[in-house]
Amino acid sequence: MSNKKAVLVCVTGQHDCDRLIHVGKYIASQLNLQLQVLCVQPTSKGIHGDCEELEYLRQTSKEANAEMTVYFNNEAAYTAAAFARQVNAVHIVTGMAEEPVNGFIDILHSLLPKIPISMVGKDKKVYNICPKDDGRPRLACSS
- CATH code at position 49: 3.40.50.10320
Q: Which residues pair with 127 in a beta bridge?
A: 119
Q: Is residue 52 part of a domain?
A: yes
Q: Is residue 80 part of a domain?
A: yes
Residue 105 neighbours by CB under 8 Å, 6+ apart: 77, 94, 97, 117, 119, 129
pLDDT in tens, 44-103: 876 666 688 999 999 999 999 999 999 999 999 999 999 999 999 999 999 997 765 678
What is the C-alpha to C-alpha distance for residues 92 and 116, in angstroms, rounded to an integer? 6
Q: Is residue 143 part of a domain?
A: no
What is the C-alpha to C-alpha distance for residues 84 and 13, in angstroms, rounded to an integer? 19
Q: Which residues form the domain of 43?
A: 6-129
pLDDT in tens, 78-95: 999 999 999 999 999 999
Residue 44 confidence (pLDDT): 82
Q: Is residue 135 part of a domain?
A: no
Q: Are 120 and 93 in contact (CB under 8 A)?
A: yes
What is the number of structural domains in the chain?
A: 1
Q: Is residue 19 part of a domain?
A: yes
